[in-house]
A = this chain, B = another copy of it.
Amino acid sequence: MSDFSRLAINQYTTLHQWSLPQAIEGYARNGVHAIGIVRDKLQEVGVAEAKRLLRAHDMTVTCVCIGGLLTASDDYRFRANLESTRRVIDEAAELDAECVVFVAGGLPEESRDLPAARARCLEGLAEILPYAKSTGVTLGLEPLHPMICAFRSCLSTLGQANDWIEVLGAGPELGIVVDVYHVWWDPDMEREIERAAGRIVSFHVCDWLLDTTDLRLDRGMMGDGVIDIRRIRDLVEATGYDGYREVEIFSERDWWQRDPDEVVAIAKARYLSDVI
């Protein structure tokens, strides 16, 4: 018996092929009933229609991607991204999503001041948290791989995410998203996953290709790379995490070029052989 009840697919995995309606219909047709939603795709169709489709296909929303990018030194841009994050929170509340994936943001334009970017993001988080709390939506801090620190995320390690939660003294409105791609290399991974116990709100899988050709858009399918995914899943689930295992693959050269039904079928097979 193959149990796919805890398998989710993040819409990024079929980014070039499917709109949100197509993804909802396509994942469901393949027996997958949980989806991580990409906000641009959501806006194409609107929240009301998305809600109707999700219900019609018995589909749970794991997360909405993304909120955050709160590192701008420029006040206008900082406020605009705070406001945009509030709107993602609203959408996530409407869709009963389990969390909003929070991406910190990289260095502001022309800046080399990484400590300042990190402080700015913390300032933004402190401001947005009460709003998240009031709506019942959880923000999931996702540390992203250090190789995309400059342009995408000054939040680079699980340790830093744990520190931020402590510094902010946040309640359940702030959690952590663990993606194997971003944390597998970290010598402190084991300790910091343990430390995140009770805080992990989403768990993402894909693989690290030995011949990675792009810093952001060249992830591999589980089993095609070098990450010991099962070990990380064990560590995450040993903390009590019993939520979805979500496949999220950014892959310009390979998976985004394939028939999306094939992508989903292979993801399902690899879920059995390399994840659970």
Task: From A21-29, A95-103, A142-150, give the one contacting chain B.
Answer: A142-150
Residues of B within 8 A of A111 (CB): 226
Query: When the two chains form their complex, are residues B226 and A150 in contact, meaning their CB atoms are under 8 A apart?
Result: yes
Contacts A156-B186, A160-B187; is A228 near B147 (CB within 8 Å)? Answer: no
A228 cross-chain contacts in B, Cβ below 8 A: 112-114
Interface size on A, residues (CB 8 A): 30
Once the chains bind, are A185 and B210 in contact (CB under 8 Å)? no
**In the complex, A260 Cα to B107 Cα: how many Å?**
32
Check: A157 CB closer than 8 A to any chain B CB. yes
Q: Which of B114, B187, B225 contacts A185 (CB 8 A)?
A: B114
Is residue A215 within 8 Å, beta carbon to beta carbon, of the partner chain? yes
State A273–B212 Cα separation when bound (angstroms).
34
Q: Is A184 an interface residue (CB 8 A)?
A: yes
Cα(A182)–Cα(B66), bound, Å = 28
- For residue A243, CB closer than 8 A to chain B, the reply is no
Bound form: Cα–Cα A156–B146 in Å: 11
Render A174-211 as a binary contact track against B, CB cut-off 8 A, 1 for contact: 00000000001111100000000000000000001010
Majority SS of interface residues in chain A? loop
Counting chain B CB atoms within 10 Å of each CB, the highest count among A118, A215, A226 belongs to A226
In the complex, chain B residues whose CB is within 8 Å of the CB of A151: 210
Cα distance A111–B228 when bound, in Å?
9
- Cα distance A145–B149 in the bound complex, in angstroms: 12
A215–B146 touching, CB < 8 Å: no
Q: Does A92 have its Cβ within 8 Å of any Cβ on chain B?
A: no
Asked, given contacts A210-B151, A212-B215, A215-B215, whether A185 binds B226 with beta carbons under 8 Å apart, the answer is no
A217 to chain B, nearest CB (A): 12
Chain A residues engaging chain B, CB cutoff 8 angstroms: 107, 111-114, 118, 145-147, 149-151, 156-157, 159-160, 163, 184-188, 208, 210, 212, 215, 225-228
